[in-house]
């Protein structure tokens, strides 16, 4: 008897669930229902896109990705529970679009966040990160385009007039992807040169004269190649701001390697010589030190003191000018995105 009662209770729950499933009296009502859910996704999708464009915080970007996933999950659950209109075909298309976006956010975009953490370690890693991002963005754009095509087809089939809106997510995503295409192309040109400066300053911090000279030569050659590459690049909608800012950065790298780094290596070589003279003098007892040894040491002390002042000055100038060049490029990039990425 208990088993029969339990089965009957479950059956009642199922019947009650089916009976309370949302129904729609016409196609327009169903489009409004789906549109409300899609609108919530659209708002969070655009917040995420803007975060990728403007935020420097990986945590902020990933937080918006997770918020977007929650919104999609709620929309999927609500649409699944409701009846479709005129069959399940359009409902299934909507769910297909939402599930694809969820998959992209769960996998492609999540992997992109992980890739960004190591992207600056090499040019190949940066290129892979940017390509992965562009591919994911393209998939998202194509999914949105397909969704909007099905939306307008359903509306036409049921004699519903839809007024196209220039603020539709699909149009904004298309424009954003075009903007990022130019931005990413220019950033790779820059990063291919900049990575050599990272290697150069690793060598400077290690006081490795041979590595400094080797990496300075590599940076100089890369910067000059970069200037030639910039001549072949097209501006975006008559906006050549990134090209010009990248050019200034390359000109700084050339000046750095040709005029400043040699002064740093001169100091390091002089310091090595001073250490040798000082070590030899320290290892010689005071009674056995010659006049020539003492005079050579005193001369080197004067030379090294003078060289230290110049080394510090060159370092200060380099840090100031490097910061100006890189900040100039970063600000230009931010302004470029703010100018061309569509507003809300």
Is the pLDDT at 2 greater than 50, yes or no? no
Q: What is the DSSP string of 249-318?
A: HHHHHHHIIIIIHHHHHHHHHHHHHHHHHHHHHHTS-GGG--HHHHHHHHHHHHHHHHHHHHHHHHHHHH
pTM here is 0.76
The stretch 324-329 carries a mean pLDDT of 94
The stretch 263-278 carries a mean pLDDT of 87
More confident residue, 5 or 34: 34
User: Do the Cβ atoms of 144 and 173 come closer than 8 Å?
Assistant: yes
CA distance linking residue 138 with residue 270, whole number of Å? 56
> Taking the CA atoms of the chain, what radius of gyration do you get in angstroms?
32
How much is the mean pLDDT over the chain?
85
More confident residue, 207 or 284: 207
Burial class (CB within 10 angstroms; exposed 0-12, middle 13-18, buried 19+) of 132: middle
Q: How confident is the model at residue 241 (pLDDT cuts 50, 70, 90)?
A: very high
CA distance linking residue 130 with residue 115, whole number of Å? 9
Q: How confident is the model at residue 344 (pLDDT cuts 50, 70, 90)?
A: low
| Residue whose entry in the numeric block shows the structure tokens 């950065």 | 249
Q: How confident is the model at residue 163 (pLDDT cuts 50, 70, 90)?
A: confident
| Residue whose entry in the numeric block shows the structure tokens 């300075």 | 216
Q: How confident is the model at residue 53 (pLDDT cuts 50, 70, 90)?
A: low
User: Do the Cβ atoms of 101 and 72 come closer than 8 Å?
Assistant: yes
Q: How confident is the model at residue 54 (pLDDT cuts 50, 70, 90)?
A: low
Give the tens place of pLDDT for each residue, 102-156.
998 888 888 887 888 788 889 999 999 889 888 888 888 888 888 888 988 999 9
CA distance linking residue 131 with residue 129, whole number of Å? 6
Residue 167 CB coordination number (10 Å): 12
The stretch 191-205 carries a mean pLDDT of 95
The stretch 263-286 carries a mean pLDDT of 85
What pLDDT does residue 17 have? 38
The percentage of the chain sitting over the pLDDT mark of 70, rounded to a whole number, equals 91
């Amino acid at each position: 008897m208990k088993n029969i009662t339990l089965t009957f209770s479950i059956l009642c729950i199922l019947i009650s669930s089916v009976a309370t499933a949302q129904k729609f009296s016409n196609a327009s009502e169903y489009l409004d229902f789906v549109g409300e859910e899609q609108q919530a996704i659209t708002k969070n999708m655009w917040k995420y896109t803007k975060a990728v464009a403007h935020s420097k915080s990986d945590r902020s970007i990933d937080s918006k990705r997770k918020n977007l996933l929650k919104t999609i999950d709620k929309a999927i659950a609500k649409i699944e529970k409701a009846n479709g209109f005129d069959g399940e075909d359009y409902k299934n298309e909507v769910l297909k679009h939402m599930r694809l976006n969820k998959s992209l956010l769960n996998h492609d975009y999540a992997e992109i966040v992980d890739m960004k953490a190591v992207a600056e370690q090499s040019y190949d890693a940066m290129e892979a990160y940017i390509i992965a991002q562009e591919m994911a963005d393209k998939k998202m754009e194509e999914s949105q385009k397909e969704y909007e095509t099905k939306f307008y087809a359903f509306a036409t089939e049921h004699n519903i007039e839809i007024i196209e809106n220039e603020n539709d997510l699909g149009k904004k995503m298309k424009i954003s992807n075009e903007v990022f295409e130019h931005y990413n192309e220019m950033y790779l040109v820059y990063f291919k040169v900049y990575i050599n400066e990272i290697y150069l300053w690793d060598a400077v911090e290690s006081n490795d004269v041979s590595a400094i000279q080797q990496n300075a030569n590599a940076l100089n050659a890369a910067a000059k190649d970069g200037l030639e590459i910039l001549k072949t690049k097209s501006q975006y909608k008559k906006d050549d701001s990134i090209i010009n800012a990248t050019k200034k950065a390359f000109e700084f790298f050339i000046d750095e390697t040709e005029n400043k780094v040699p002064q740093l290596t001169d100091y390091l070589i002089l310091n090595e010589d001073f250490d040798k003279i000082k070590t030899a003098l320290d290892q010689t007892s005071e009674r056995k030190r010659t006049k020539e040894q003492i005079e050579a040491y005193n001369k080197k002390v004067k030379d090294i003191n003078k060289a230290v002042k110049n080394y510090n000055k060159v370092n200060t100038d380099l840090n100031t000018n490097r910061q100006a060049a890189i900040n100039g490029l970063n600000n230009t990039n931010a302004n470029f995105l703010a100018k061309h990425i569509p507003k809300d």
